Amino acid sequence: MPGLSVGTILELIAALALIVGGIILYRRRGRDDPNHGSQSAVLLLLAVGAILAIHGLGLLDYRPSPSEIRP
């Protein structure tokens, strides 16, 4: 993807860090229950990381249709 700004690259790095952090948190078992990790924290980190990645890739940018553009 040519032309990525520094802000976009930092946003994608933050998204990747959140997703990797969620995976690491899931793999680490809780002390109270060694069979289960913190699933709500994992879902939160993965969801926020995914939304941040989608935003960083520009998929949430507004692109008006031709009928919405006034001449």
pLDDT in tens, 11-31: 999 999 988 988 887 777 666
Q: Is residue 24 part of a domain?
A: yes
Task: Give the domain range for residue 13.
Answer: 6-68
Rounded Cα–Cα distance for residues 33 and 22 (Å):
18
Residue in the structure block whose two tokens are 């959140």: 18
At 63, phi and psi to the nearest 5? -125, 100
Identify the band that residue 10 occupies on the pLDDT scale cut at 50, 70 and 90.
very high
Q: Is residue 39 part of a domain?
A: yes
Residue in the structure block whose two tokens are 């990747």: 16
Q: How many domains does the chain have?
A: 1
- Across residues 28-36, what is the average pLDDT? 65
Rounded Cα–Cα distance for residues 69 and 71 (Å):
6
User: What is residue 41's predicted lDDT score, i.e. its pLDDT?
Assistant: 77
Question: Is residue 54 a contact partner of residue 16, using CB atoms and an 8 Å limit?
Answer: no
Q: Is residue 27 part of a domain?
A: yes
Q: Is residue 1 part of a domain?
A: no
